[in-house]
């Protein structure tokens, strides 16, 4: 009262003024206290709820505490903060203080409440945690089970017991009375996993709880809303039938002879390929690697050496012009030791030759044009070769048609070809149907059908639109290839939808169920949604989960997964849903969104320290992966990560040696399991049955790495790790076109393949052996060998195989001969063709040059003078017309030579 302004009542006696003042004060206090008492019920409820947070009976999740905070804040703003403290009694002031303090410290108070609840639950349920499995659950597993935030993410690394966690969580919810069985939804991706979890819950807890797959749940939702379940398309559960349907749709479209049919045949002619050329590469080896990856096979069946040659060959075939590819020239003109002259094409009917020259034109300041070559091509040498070929045809009076790289650059290569050929050949175009049959006959249609089928599922499941895909293609700079593909996909998709004829596929199933959940046409009973293998969730499935959660204010999501094992992007999984778990599924509290809880299980019950730590280090090279603790199952003094380099000729014998070594270290009292892993199915050893007979004390099995998820073995052998299209890391994991209907591509190179490698490594308990190519070395093996932190051993024994081709920069592959000797050829056999004989002294090694000494030395100790004219040759003694001399071992490809006397002086 002392701080209030003083009002003077003039003409009033002091005694009367004081009486009046007291009366006003009492009335004022009575009014404020009455206001306080009118909210007594709300205030008492708030005070009780705040008090209960010190010892909460249920987990104080954001969805539980947030309404309390909002009511407290609202009451404070509308009443409590407006009440003068002087007008209230001590008890009332104390109560207001508790509410206001809670509003100011809500985050802190909730965290304390969570800690108190978890501490008590861990004690109360210790018997349950001790006996749920044959071994007591770990502290991390127990923490993950009692955690019950709006959204809880359990990071379950390989071998960390995720199935135990998710089944124990379900049992805990039921046995504690937190939820009724009908309020718990347990979701798995595969019916086998769902069945296993259902059985384990009933066995361990005595409570029946059916785990469901996403599709069975969605089908039930549709049946509930519509009164009956629509018929499922026959191909929905049969991948072969699905792809056969796509192929039949393509055939039907080709028969219409429309623009679509031209686009389909055009796809196989050349639009299916990236629009790169020699000019996009600085090194010959990089260009050759790219060309080999594309597999430039013509409609006639031969493999050509450039994209432009493919365009020419397929135009000739489509127009009924018979040709030979790289035939021997009709006159003997080879000289200087080079191979016989083979022009690019010869037209059989007219005998005309075609040479395609990979040159472009650049305009000079004076208006003239200068021919240029690719960065890795010697321009003067190439132009000289062009003139030599022209001279040969002029000398022997054969007709040569020339085409040029700049014609393709100008977009008129095929038009120019047609004009040049017209005087000599009459075109007789093959029908589009015939051409498509040819494509099928060459097995070129299968990969396209697979691409269309995968694209269709992603497109439909993600709710994409064609315009959206076209815009994305321009943003990603996928060029004409993307627009050509979409021009085919649009009618294929339209026909596919027509052929469904009222039936539904799995994409329809998820989308329709989600719509019913979002519009509340379906009333969800589920208040706890438990999701297994969360790293594999797709956008459409994630949307269904969110729609179900949104129907109850206190619903929770409990997700178990490992982003390090997310290897199903090709099937629509979106790793970003896990990486942004809080933003996607989290709750709101005290003005903050994305509220969630993450528990790292950490401990692995499978792999020893050397494997577990190496696998972690390997996968975390990608900084986008979530970091987590790894506690190995045990330790070992012996190296557990071994690299064996092989050549084609010794793959089987090296594998037998590995198995023999594993048998020697195996314990006699127990059969040792050995899991052979391949990136693809066709990598299974052809002699697998024989290996099982040869090593009866080893339990040998083969799986693809994808099919091995969830499995484990004492020892793992990863087969055929080489660099290439179907190597490991695979170069065909994702066609760039799938980016049009897929989550944002990961910028880290081989991001998904790195996770595939992590899965392979973590199948092993005791050791991993990587069988790598000595010549086309896998990037993953190179990384493991180069970084000593991985602890990989064994590969250094075969360093002599790691030789570089002096012609193109590729690798030289050792090729054993029947006589027991070795020769080396470039890995790009058909494009480069460079080869070297082995050291004459030992017949196996390859001399390596030393720039300082000018000598080339073999691992056997033999030394030779290095060739002065080429990159990797050495000089050997030969006898000529004028006596002995030194000549390059690569003669006649290389004419390097020296006089013996000069070198001795």
Nearest to 277 by CA among 291, 297, 293: 291
User: Is residue 161 part of an annotated ligand binding site?
Assistant: yes
Both tokens of residue 459? 């497109």
Nearest CA among 646, 644, 647 for reference residue 767: 644
Are residues 427 and 319 in contact, defined by beta-carbon separation less than 8 angstroms? Answer: yes
Question: Alpha-carbon distance 78 to 594, whole Å?
Answer: 28
Q: What is the pLDDT of residue 316?
A: 97
Q: What is the pLDDT of residue 1?
A: 43
Q: Assign residue 719 a region (left: φ > 0; alpha: ψ between -120 and 50; beta: otherwise).
A: beta
Evaluate if residue 27 carries a pLDDT over 60: yes
pLDDT of residue 364 exceeding 90, the answer is no
Q: Is 280 helix (H, G, I), strand (E, B) or coil?
A: helix
2 pLDDT more than 80: no
Whether the pLDDT of residue 337 is over 50: the answer is no
The angle, 0 to 180 degrees and rounded to 10, between the axes of the packed helices 445-461 and 432-441 is 100
Nearest to 353 by CA among 332, 383, 327: 327
Strand ranges, E, within 684-730: 698-704, 713-721
Which phi and psi angles does 120 have, rounded to 5°? -70, -40
pTM of the model: 0.81
CB count within 10 Å of CB 77 equals 11
* Number of other residues whose CB lies within 10 A of the CB of residue 271: 20
Is 163 annotated among the ligand-binding residues? yes
CB 394 within 8 A of CB 355: no
Beta-strand relationship, 835-837 and 822-826: antiparallel
Chain-centroid distance, C-alpha 415: 41
Tell me the CB-side half-sphere exposure of residue 448, using CA atoms within 13 A: 29
Give the SS3 label for residue 192. Answer: helix
**Computed over its alpha carbons, how large is the radius of gyration of the chain?**
37
The answer to whether the annotation marks 157 as part of a ligand binding site is yes
The whole-angstrom distance between residue 195's C-alpha and the CA centroid of its chain comes to 28
Contact 282, 375 (CB under 8 A): yes
Structure tokens at 488: 């085919």
Distances (CA, A) of 428 to 316, 317, 321, 326, 680: 10, 10, 7, 23, 42
Q: 436-440, 509-513, 707-711: which has the highest mean pLDDT?
A: 509-513
Query: Could you report the per-residue pLDDT of 767-792, keeping only the tens digit for each?
Result: 999 999 877 788 999 899 889 899 88
Are residues 687 and 722 in contact, defined by beta-carbon separation less than 8 angstroms?
no
Calpha distance 106→590 (Å, rounded): 7
Please check if 794 is assigned to a binding site. Answer: no
Reported as a pLDDT band with limits 50, 70 and 90, residue 208 is: confident
Helix (H, G, I), strand (E, B) or coil at 897: strand
Is the CA virtual torsion 752, 754, 755, 756 positive or negative? positive
The pLDDT tens digits of the residues spanning 73-118 come to 988 888 887 777 776 678 888 988 999 999 999 999 999 999 999 9
Query: What percent of the chain shows pLDDT beyond 90?
Result: 57
Checking if the pLDDT of 260 tops 70, the result is yes
Cβ(645)–Cβ(774) below 8 Å: yes
What does the alpha-carbon distance between residue 249 and residue 254 come to, in Å, rounded to a whole number? 9
Where residue 649 falls among pLDDT bands split at 50, 70, 90? confident
Pairing of strands 698-704, 672-678: parallel
- Residues 497-514: what's their mean pLDDT? 94
**What does the block give as tokens for 370?**
């200068």
Distance CA 232, CA 512 (A): 13
Query: Which position has the higher pLDDT, 445 or 529?
Result: 529
pLDDT exceeds 70 at position 67? yes
90-104 helix and 62-78 helix, angle to the nearest 10 degrees: 130
First to last CA, the chain: 117
Residue 588 parent element (H or E)? strand 587-589
Tell me the C-alpha distance between 201 and 227, whole Å.
31
| Neighbour-count burial for 455-489, b at 16+ CB within 10 Å, e otherwise | bbbbbbbbebeeeebbebbeeeebeebbebbbbbb
A 10 A CB-CB count for 314 gives 22
Average pLDDT over residues 834-860: 89
Give the pLDDT band (50/70/90) at residue 801: low
Residue 30 confidence (pLDDT)? 67
Q: Is-contact 407 416, C-beta < 8 A? A: yes
Residues 6+ away with beta carbon under 8 Å from 760:
677, 705, 708, 716, 718, 768
- Which pLDDT belongs to residue 645? 87
Residue 164 scores a pLDDT above 70: yes
654 is in an annotated binding site: no
Pairing of strands 528-531, 360-363: unpaired
* Strand pairing class (587-589; 883-888): unpaired
Query: Is residue 548 within 8 Å of 523, Cβ to Cβ?
Result: no
| Mean pLDDT taken over the chain | 89
Q: The tokens 């249920």 sit on which residue?
A: 58
Helix 479-500 and helix 239-255, axial crossing angle in degrees, nearest 10: 110
Assign 3-state DSSP to the chain and report helix, strand, coil percentages, each to 5: 45, 15, 35
Q: What is the pLDDT of residue 68?
A: 95
pLDDT for res 87? 62
Peptide bond into 498 cis (omega under 30): no
**Residue 664: half-sphere exposure toward Cβ, Cα within 13 Å:** 6
What is the pLDDT at residue 905?
A: 39
Q: What percent of the chain has pLDDT over 70?
A: 94
User: Does residue 339 carry a pLDDT above 90?
Assistant: no
Question: What is the C-alpha separation between 714 and 766, in angstroms, rounded?
Answer: 5
Least confidently predicted of 143-157, 846-860, 888-902? 888-902
Query: Could you write out the DSSP letters of every residue in 776-799?
Result: SB-HHHHHHHH-GGG--BSGGGGG
Residues 889 and 897: beta-carbon distance below 8 Å: no
The answer to whether 854 is a known ligand-binding residue is no
What average pLDDT score do residues 206-230 get? 92
- In this structure, what DSSP letter does residue 180 have? -
DSSP single-letter state for residue 737:
G
Q: Is the pLDDT of residue 258 over 50?
A: yes
905 is in an annotated binding site: no
Helix extents (H) in 403-553: 405-409, 413-421, 432-441, 445-461, 466-475, 479-500, 506-518, 539-549
Note if the bond before 729 is cis, omega within 30 degrees: yes
């Amino acid at each position: 009262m002392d701080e209030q302004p003083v009002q003077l009542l003039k003409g009033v006696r002091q005694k009367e003024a004081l009486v009046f003042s007291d009366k006003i004060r009492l009335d004022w206090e009575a009014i404020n206290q009455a206001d306080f008492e009118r909210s007594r019920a709300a205030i008492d409820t708030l005070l009780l709820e705040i008090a209960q947070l010190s010892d909460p009976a249920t987990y104080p999740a954001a969805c539980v505490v947030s309404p309390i905070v909002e009511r407290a804040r609202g009451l404070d703003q509308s009443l409590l903060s407006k009440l003068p403290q002087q007008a209230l009694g001590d008890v009332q002031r104390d109560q207001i203080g508790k509410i206001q303090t809670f509003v100011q410290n809500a985050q802190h108070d909730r965290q304390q409440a969570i800690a108190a609840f978890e501490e008590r639950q861990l004690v109360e349920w210790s018997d349950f945690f001790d006996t749920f499995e044959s071994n007591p659950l770990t502290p991390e597993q127990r923490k993950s089970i009692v955690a019950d935030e709006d959204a809880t993410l359990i990071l379950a690394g390989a071998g960390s017991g995720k199935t135990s966690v998710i089944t124990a969580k379900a049992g805990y919810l039921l046995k504690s009375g937190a939820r009724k069985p009908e309020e718990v939804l347990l979701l798995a991706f595969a019916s086998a996993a769902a069945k296993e979890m259902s059985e384990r819950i009933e066995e361990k807890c005595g409570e029946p709880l059916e785990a469901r797959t996403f599709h069975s749940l969605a089908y039930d939702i549709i049946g509930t809303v519509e009164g009956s379940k629509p018929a499922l398309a026959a191909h929905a559960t049969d991948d072969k039938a699905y792809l056969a349907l796509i192929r039949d749709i393509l055939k039907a479209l080709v028969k219409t002879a429309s623009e679509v049919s031209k686009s389909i045949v055009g796809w196989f002619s050349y639009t299916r390929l990236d629009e790169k050329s020699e000019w996009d590469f600085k090194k010959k080896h990089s260009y050759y690697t790219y060309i080999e990856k594309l597999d430039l096979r013509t409609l006639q069946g031969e493999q050509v050496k450039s994209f432009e040659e493919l365009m020419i060959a397929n135009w000739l075939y489509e127009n009924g012009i018979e040709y030979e590819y790289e035939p021997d020239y009709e006159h003997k003109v080879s000289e200087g030791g080079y191979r016989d002259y083979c022009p690019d094409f010869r037209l059989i009917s007219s005998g005309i030759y075609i040479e395609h020259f990979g040159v472009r034109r650049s305009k000079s300041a004076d208006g003239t044009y200068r021919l240029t070559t690719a960065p890795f091509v010697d321009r003067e040498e190439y132009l000289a070769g062009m003139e030599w070929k022209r001279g040969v045809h002029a000398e022997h009076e054969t007709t040569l048609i020339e085409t040029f790289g700049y014609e393709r650059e100008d977009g008129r290569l095929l038009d120019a070809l047609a004009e040049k050929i017209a005087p000599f050949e009459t075109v007789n175009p093959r029908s589009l149907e015939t051409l498509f049959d040819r494509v099928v006959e060459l097995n070129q249609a299968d990969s396209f059908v697979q691409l269309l089928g995968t694209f269709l599922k992603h497109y439909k499941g993600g709710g994409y639109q064609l315009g959206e895909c076209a815009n994305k293609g321009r943003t990603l700079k996928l060029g004409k290839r993307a627009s050509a593909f979409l021009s085919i996909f649009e009618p294929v998709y339209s026909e596919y939808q027509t052929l469904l004829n009222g039936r539904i596929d799995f994409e329809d199933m998820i989308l329709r169920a989600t719509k019913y959940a979002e519009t509340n046409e379906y009333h969800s009973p589920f208040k706890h949604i438990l999701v297994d293998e969360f790293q594999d969730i797709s956008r459409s499935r994630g949307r269904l989960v969110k729609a179900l959660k949104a129907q109850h204010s206190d619903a929770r999501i409990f997700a178990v997964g490992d982003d390090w094992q997310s290897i199903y992007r090709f099937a629509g999984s979106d790793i970003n849903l896990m990486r942004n778990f809080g933003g996607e599924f989290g709750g709101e509290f005290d003005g903050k969104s994305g509220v969630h809880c993450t528990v790292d299980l950490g401990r692995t019950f499978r792999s020893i320290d050397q494997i577990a730590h190496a696998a972690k280090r390997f996968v975390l090279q990608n900084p986008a992966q979530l970091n987590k603790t790894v506690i190995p199952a045990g330790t070992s003094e012996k190296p557990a990560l071994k690299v064996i380099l092989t050549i084609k000729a010794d793959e089987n014998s090296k594998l037998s040696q590995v198995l023999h070594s594993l048998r020697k270290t195996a314990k006699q009292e127990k059969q040792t399991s050995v899991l052979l892993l391949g990136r693809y199915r066709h990598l299974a050893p052809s002699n697998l049955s024989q290996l099982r007979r040869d090593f009866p004390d080893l339990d040998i099995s083969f799986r693809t790495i994808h099919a091995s998820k969830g499995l484990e073995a004492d020892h793992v052998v990863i087969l055929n790790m080489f660099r290439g299209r179907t190597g490991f890391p695979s170069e065909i994991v994702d066609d760039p076109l799938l980016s049009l209907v897929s989550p944002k591509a990961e910028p880290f190179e081989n991001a998904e393949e790195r996770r595939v490698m992590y899965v392979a490594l973590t199948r092993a308990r005791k050791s991993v052996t990587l069988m790598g190519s000595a010549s086309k070395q896998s990037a993953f093996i190179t990384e493991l060998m180069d970084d000593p932190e991985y602890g990989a051993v064994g590969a250094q024994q075969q360093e002599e195989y790691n030789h570089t081709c002096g012609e193109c920069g590729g690798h030289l592959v050792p090729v054993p001969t029947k006589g027991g000797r070795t020769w080396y050829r470039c890995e790009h056999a058909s494009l480069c063709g460079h080869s070297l004989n082995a050291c004459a002294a030992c017949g196996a090694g390859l001399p390596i040059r030393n720039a300082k000494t000018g000598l080339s030395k073999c691992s056997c100790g033999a030394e030779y003078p290095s060739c002065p004219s080429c990159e990797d040759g050495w000089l050997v003694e030969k006898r000529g017309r004028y006596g002995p001399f030194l000549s390059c071992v690569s003669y006649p490809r290389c004419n390097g030579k020296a006089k013996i006397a000069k070198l001795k002086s």
